[in-house]
Structure 1
Amino acid sequence: MGIASRLEEEKFLVAALVVAAIAYLLEHAVIEMGRGVALIAAAALVGTIVLASIRVAHHAELLAVKVGDPYGTMILTLSAVAVEVIILAIMMSGESSPTLVRDTIYSALMLDINGILGLAALLGGLKHGEQPYNDNSGKTYGVMILTAMGISMIVPEFVPSDKWHYYSAFTIAAMIALYGLFLRMQVGQHSYFFSYSYPRSERKKESPDEHGDDESAAISIATILIGVVIIGLLAEFMAAFMTEGLRDSGAPIAVTAVVVAAISAAPEILTALRAALRNRMQATVNIAMGASLSTVILTVPVMEAIALYTGQPFIMAMTPVQTVMVAVTLIAAAINLNDGETNAIEGMTHFILFATFVMLTALGL
């Protein structure tokens, strides 16, 4: 494929790079124009970041098809988490709420498990009825998420403020140890936990182009890296515009966190829904639960390391409302993902929890 054809195919990334250049040139002018213009610019950048993220996810999917599960969905979720970490790191380097990291992780969990998994199971259940998957994956993801959330976002409530750096260092070590062993099991002796063997007749129904893309892995990897860099540039300007646009506006503090979580999850939503509608619930479970786990277990150590480096701790302990919502979500997930099949009722329970999260956020809770 020639350079011109490649640029045409990656027009979203090219456009994102152009937008980043324009934002660089007009940053101060936009901020001086007031909050309204800043919010419009921030919204435009959010849309651009989503488009760039979709291209990153596309190439992650190409790699996923080449290597298969569980490696495939792992690549997709890691690319999404990388985007989230970059955006958070950039936003936390400026004027931002000390609860931004906590609220973003919480929002991501609500969006991934209740939003993505809920909607996918609901739509997939309405179309296919009961959709099978490997129940070992749901159980493993669930207990890992519960442990990681408990260590990093519940226990900190009881840690004295003058000893935060000790617990922060412990949290980093704990997350690395948890994910290191999990990753070894996921790609090693327990890799079968995260895959499901569908009947041959169903496999033939897959679209012919799903496995027919001959794009090289090297090009996909390079495009992912370039896309992540472009997203990082856009995020820096988005953070500046959003901070200015929301200043003294009375908007809920968590709005920024929800935006960051939604940006990183946008490509996953499309992929998970497509998988559910093709009756591939295993991929949906891996994406939704895997993204939740990766968000907690990878974002926390990076952000805690930044806190230790700067000497400024973040507020990681969840509020009572957040703790209750996480507890209800994980209990519902433990029950719904316990039998190896999802259905529309189970999807609806999670989607209603997601609607509850949206309402609570709108109320500033």
Structure 2
Amino acid sequence: MSSSTASLTRQWTTWGPVVAALALVAAWGRDLPGFAVGLIALCLIAAVLAAVHHAEVIAHRVGEPYGSLVLAVAVTVIEVGLIVSLMAGGGEKTSTYARDTVFAAVMITCNGIVGLSLTVAALRNRVAVFNAEGSGGALATVCTLATMTLVLPTFTTSHPGPEFSSAQLAFAAVASLCLYAVFVGVQTVRHRDYFLPVPRPGQDSADDHADPPTRRDAWTSLGLLVVALVAVVGNAKLISPTIEDGVQSAGLPKAVVGVVIALMVLLPETLAAVRAARRDRVQTSLNLAYGSAIASIGLTIPAIALASIWLSGPLVLGLGPLHMVLLVLTGVVSALTVVPGRATLLQGGVHLAMFAAFVFLSFSP
């Protein structure tokens, strides 16, 4: 990257979150006309892209796998804020938003992001190489959390419908949080080497030799990342009525709202994972994908459980038969992909096909 391009990037990513935050303050509590919604959407996209940049600056400073963890947690903060803000005062019509958004996040990360990353890496190097130990442990955590929070509510009998009772919801929240904490401890301390990119013989990455940002730059990026996240949550809340109205007027299922939210929220993860795959750092891409799925469930469910104390209306978490089939298929195929520690274009294509099936069936169940 040339010095002029780097300078332009710094300027844009500095002013983007600030402008988005100012737009949020100016528009909050107002009825927005169509052109204003469009401007807010542009500010939201700018804040998302700026968040990616600042998360990567912090990641470069702290190194892997801490960098992936920073971005995963940042994205999950956005997701939790969006879900709670949409459910607040929404009543029964928003009862499935948490389930739909979390399930969409699992499908997007485990199929969309993983499929894109493997495809990009395989097209560039014929075979994508990663650590089976770290990726396998992360995938097992995703499957356990998804089953415990999204499948079991459909079969429990303490509460009518696909819902947890208060005690069951509390148990699921605590168990999810504990499992997420264990995963973070293993990823960052006890078995950190399992989550580092696999070097190829005779191959070097320019990133390994790039000077890390200074402490001052890292703290500045952290502050701007927080501003960007607040702007994303707030601006998404402002345009959410337009999304809901559009989905309703088009006669689409309510689950489409959760898919749109998840796609919007996971855009930073997707961009960062694909960029890592292009640099032959597939393990970093998988850390981002599976780490985001784990954070999405392990942090969102406890937050929603806590928020349910004052949220009105039911909290539906149990999946229907169609989505359970997709979840089981994703778990089986992902295990076959991860176990060898190597993947080709075929595995990437299979995951992308499952992601396409999920998106299509969301719009036409």
Read off the aligned partner of 1:13 and give its amino acid letter: P
Other structure's SS at 2:203 match: helix
Other structure's SS at 2:190 match: coil
Structure 1 counterpart of 2:3? none
Q: 1:129 to 1:211 in 2, by over 3 A?
A: farther
| Cα pair 2:121 2:278 within 8 Å, conserved | yes
| Cα pair 2:61 2:213 within 8 Å, conserved | no
In the TM superposition, what whole-angstrom CA distance separates every residue of 1:150-197 from its partner, at most 9, and x where no partner exists?
A: 111111112222671110111111112111222222221111121134
C-alpha displacement of 1:298? 1.0
Structure 1 counterpart of 2:27? 23
Among candidates 14, 17, 24, match of residue 13 of structure 1: 17
In the TM superposition, what whole-angstrom CA distance separates every residue of 1:119-147 from its partner, at most 9, and x where no partner exists?
A: 12112211211121111122111110111
Aligned partners of 2:175, 2:44: CA distance in 1, in Å?
32
| Cα pair 2:68 2:284 within 8 Å, conserved | yes
1:269 equivalent to 2:270? Answer: yes
Structure 2 counterpart of 1:58? 53
Other structure's SS at 1:216 match: helix
Structure 2 counterpart of 1:34? none
1:257 equivalent to 2:258? Answer: yes
Q: 1:166 to 1:324 in 2, by over 3 A?
A: same
Q: 1:117 to 1:230 in 2, by over 3 A?
A: same
C-alpha displacement of 1:41? 5.4
Aligned partners of 1:357, 1:43: CA distance in 2, in Å?
28
TM-score by length of 1: 0.89
Aligned partners of 2:278, 2:19: CA distance in 1, in Å?
31
| Cα pair 1:111 1:262 within 8 Å, conserved | yes
Identity of aligned residues (%): 25
Structure 1 counterpart of 2:132? 135
Q: Counterparts in 2 of 1:1-365, with a 5 A limit?
A: 9-24=13-28, 27-28=30-31, 30=33, 37=34, 42=37, 44-95=39-90, 96-159=93-156, 160-161=158-159, 164-199=165-200, 201-206=202-207, 211-214=211-214, 216-310=217-311, 312-363=313-364, 365=365
Q: 1:102 to 1:62 in 2, by over 3 A?
A: same
| Cα pair 2:247 2:253 within 8 Å, conserved | no
Kindly tell me the number of residue pairs found equivalent between the two proteins.
351
Aligned partners of 2:254, 2:262: CA distance in 1, in Å?
14
C-alpha displacement of 1:212? 4.7
In the TM superposition, what whole-angstrom CA distance separates every residue of 1:301-337 from its partner, at most 9, and x where no partner exists?
A: 1112111343643100011111110110111110001
| Cα pair 2:159 2:165 within 8 Å, conserved | yes
TM-score by length of 2: 0.89
Consecutive unaligned residues of structure 2, counting only runs of 5 or more, are 1-8
Aligned partners of 1:272, 1:263: CA distance in 2, in Å?
15
| Cα pair 1:139 1:337 within 8 Å, conserved | yes
Moved more, 70-79 or 197-206: 197-206
C-alpha displacement of 1:204? 4.2
Aligned partners of 1:184, 1:9: CA distance in 2, in Å?
31
Q: 1:6 to 1:138 in 2, by over 3 A?
A: closer
C-alpha displacement of 1:6? 7.0
Moved more, 272-281 or 156-165: 156-165
Aligned partners of 1:219, 1:200: CA distance in 2, in Å?
37
Alignment RMSD: 2.4
Consecutive unaligned residues of structure 1, counting only runs of 5 or more, are 31-36
Read off the aligned partner of 2:45 and give its amino acid letter: V
Moved more, 229-238 or 108-117: 229-238
Aligned partners of 2:55, 2:360: CA distance in 1, in Å?
33
| Cα pair 1:120 1:347 within 8 Å, conserved | yes
C-alpha displacement of 1:222? 1.1
